[in-house]
Each structure stands twice: as C-alpha cells, then as structure tokens.
Amino acid sequence: MATTSSVGRETSSGSGQPDAGARHRAEHRQPCYLSIDLEDFAHDYQRSLGVEHPRRDPGSLERACARLEEFSQTHLGGARLTFFTTGQVARDYPDIVRRLSADGHEIACHYYEHDQIWHETRATFRRNLDMATTYLAGASGQRIRGFRAPDFSIDERCAAWAYEELARIFDYDSSHTAQHHHGNPAAPLEMNLVTGRLREIDIYRHSLLPGLDVRVIGGTYMRLLPITVILRLLGRAFERGFVPQVYLHPYDLLDDRMQWSRYRELSHLKGHRRVYRWARQVQWHSIGNRGIWTKLEQIYARFVHPGPLASLIDVTSPTETDRDAANA
C-alpha cells in the first residue's frame, strides 16, 4: 500500500512501483510558480534609513539560496526557480549569482537598488535598469528576460513610461497585481509599446477584508496567514484565471536574525523613530519565519512548480532584432 511522507510525497507500493492514484494526483496538480526576490535586506534597510555605510550580508543570502536548492531537490523534483535579483547583489556578490545561474536557475531583474519605481524619474529609471542588467548579465552569463519592481511599485504614477522602458530590455514583467485576469494565463497579456513588446505575468490580488488586499501569496502574507487560507487563496487565483505564484525573500526563509540592524547601527535616528525602526524588523525576521518551510511543503504537495517564470513566455517573445527595429 502506498504511503505519503510528511511533505506529501507519495512513495511506491510494495511492488516498488508508484501507486496509480499517486501518479494521477501528481500529474493533475495545478501549477504554482515559486520565485525569489533576491535582495540584501540589511543593506537595503539601512540605506533607506540614511545609514552612511550600510552593512552588507552575503552570508544570509548564501544560506537562503542553499536551503532553496535543497528544497528544490527534495520537494520540487529539481525544478529550477526564478531569482529576481537586484543589481546591487550582482555587483557586490557576483559569485552568488554565478552559482545560481550555473545551477540552471533563471536570473531576472529586481531593479538596481531596492527603490520604489513610483518615486523615480524616467531618466533615473532607465539609467538604473541599464546598470542592473549589466551587472546581472555579467555575473550570470544570461540574457535577462524578466523584471519585478521592488514592492510591486509600478502604478498610475509611472506606468505610462515605466512599461516602455521595460519593453526596451525585457521579455516580461511581474510587477502588476490584479483582482481580475484579462484572459488565458498560459498566454500572458502582451503590450505592444513603441519600444517593443512586453508580456505581463500578473499576480492575483484578493480582498481578504475591507481595506486589506492580499497579494497571493508571499512575504508577510505567507508567513502570517494559516496554511488553510493560503491554499484557498491559491486555488481562488487559479479559478480567476491567474497562474498562482509564491514569491519570497531571503529574510522570509531564515529565522536567525543575522539580517537585523543592531540598535547601535541606527544611532543617527532620534527618539521614538529609532525604537520604531529597530522594532519594525520583527515583522520581517521573527513572525512566522520558522513555519515557512512547512507551509512550502504543504503548498507543493498540492500544487506543482513548473520551472522558471520565463517558461510561461512562448517562442514569440521579443528578440533582440525586434527591439532594434522598434527602437530604430
């Protein structure tokens, strides 16, 4: 008789062959893509608070990537992931990016630094995209096909020019959240812009409570919500025409607080602001982190991770020739 392990992987029957029911369940699982926003939290957080020399923490990134590789082998059948990586990470820790690429993972762009796009000018956005992709391509040896904005920060304040700049470089974007899908998730929305074509891989946004919209599913939502709610939301995303996604960060995956900014490192902040900014890290580094791997196991016992997000983009994606013609 077939048995199921604690992470939902079916084992073979006494004959040594997989159980027929287990094969059927595995073959008919719905897709759910797992991607990582690879950013140096210690550096980004201190930089955002005006620390003159932000601390860098490659060790936390290396530990998170190692655990993800192990998880991929044991629970995803070795399927490769997409790492939306900041240019700063590729600049400062090229060996990390190089190893991920050598292992077959997709390296995509998460901007140059972890800055919100709606606060940028078009000229700054263009310059930072070019710097980011130069570092990412140099470290990975890949053509960088995808983009995700920090904090999903493309909205009506910048969308008119941001998508044109993205189409100049990338095949797809995954910065847009929506409650209603435009059509077939297997054929992401194609935007024909003056600078080229761009595919949009939407992330489902669900109104959980009045005034509380959940991006399905990742980050704080993934750590705080119970697994029953998470599975229901991922199923709802599929029903609404979206390809479900799980997006995580290195700080979601670790519970050792190595990425914390020490209280003394925030000495330039005064009074309650210093206390608040130090304590604010609890949201990212303490609450729910220890349960994240169990939740991932339960998700991928129900869903299947097909591979990098670029696999959603078909062979008609823009080529370099297409872009050259569009920019002529």
d(CA 245, CA 234): 8
Beta-strand pair 203-209/212-215: antiparallel
d(CA 117, CA 55): 23
Torsion of CA 308, 309, 312, 314, to 10 degrees: -80
Alpha carbon distances (Å) from 298 to 142, 291, 318: 32, 11, 36
Q: Encode burial over 179-189: b for 16+ CB neighbours within 10 A, e otherwise.
A: eebeeebeebb
pLDDT value for 59: 93
Instruction: Give the number of other CB atoms < 10 A from CB of residue 237.
Output: 24
For residue 203, list its beta bridge partners.
177
Instruction: Give the number of other CB atoms < 10 A from CB of residue 208.
Output: 14
Amino acid making up residue 219: G
Residue 299: closest CA among 255, 236, 234 = 234
pLDDT value for 119: 95
Over the stretch 132-143, which tens digit does the pLDDT of each residue have? 999 999 999 999
Residues present in the chain in total:
328
Residues 65 and 72: beta-carbon distance below 8 Å: no
Give the torsion sign (CA, 119, 124, 126, 131): negative
Residue 251: closest CA among 280, 211, 213, 210 = 280
- As assigned by CATH, the class of the 29-257+287-327 domain is alpha beta
pLDDT value for 18: 42
Residues 106 and 80: beta-carbon distance below 8 Å: yes
Residues 64 and 103: beta-carbon distance below 8 Å: no
Q: Which two tokens stand for residue 283?
A: 């949201």
Alpha carbon distances (Å) from 21 to 93, 224, 242: 45, 33, 27
Q: Which two tokens stand for residue 157?
A: 């304040």
pLDDT value for 324: 47
Q: How remote is the C-alpha of 56 from its chain's centroid? A: 21
pLDDT value for 115: 95
Q: List Cβ neighbours of 174 (8 Å cut-off, separation of 6 or more).
A: 35, 84, 146, 147, 148, 200, 201, 202, 203, 245, 309
Per-residue pLDDT of the chain (328 residues; tens, 9 = 90+): 333 333 333 333 444 444 444 444 455 788 999 999 999 999 999 999 999 899 999 999 999 999 999 999 999 999 999 999 999 999 999 999 999 999 999 999 999 999 999 999 999 999 999 999 999 999 999 999 999 999 999 988 999 899 999 999 999 999 988 876 655 554 457 777 777 789 999 888 998 788 788 888 998 899 999 999 999 999 999 888 888 999 999 999 988 777 888 888 999 999 999 999 998 888 788 888 889 999 999 999 999 999 999 998 854 444 444 444 444 4
pLDDT value for 181: 61
d(CA 78, CA 127): 36
Instruction: Give the number of other CB atoms < 10 A from CB of residue 88.
Output: 23
